[in-house]
Amino acid sequence: MSGIPPKSVGLGGDGDEICAIESVERAFGVKLDKADASKWHTAGDVFASLRQALPNEVRDHDLWPRFTEVLTEQTGVAPEAIEMASPLLSQSRLWVHVTNASAAAWISAAMVVLGLLGWALL
């Protein structure tokens, strides 16, 4: 073991994880048990739920490569870099700051437009 943490799946926790799970369900023709969702922290956690949802005769097939390919469609992370212990959510929280800054900019712009519109109507 190298001591280097596994590469993250790269999901942002901003709804893209829902799309990724739905993609897995579509690709494998199953519905995952959403009661397990609070326990899904790694790719391996979701993979275990997928295996549970599959018929017995399919569970032992080499599903991992296809699973990681579908799971990373949203993120652009190389599927071969994903391990069972790979966290679902991105290790970098930079996206949170980008999202917050973007929201603040749009709110500010809307306030300016509404202010100008109100001023023009007076």
pTM: 0.70
Whether 82 contacts 43, CB under 8 Å? yes
What are the pLDDT digits (tens) for 55-94?
A: 998 887 889 999 999 999 988 899 999 999 999 988 655 5
- CA dist., res. 38 & res. 55, Å (int): 23
- CA dist., res. 74 & res. 17, Å (int): 9
Whether 12 contacts 54, CB under 8 Å? no
What are the pLDDT digits (tens) for 12-53?
A: 877 888 999 999 999 999 999 989 899 999 999 999 999 999
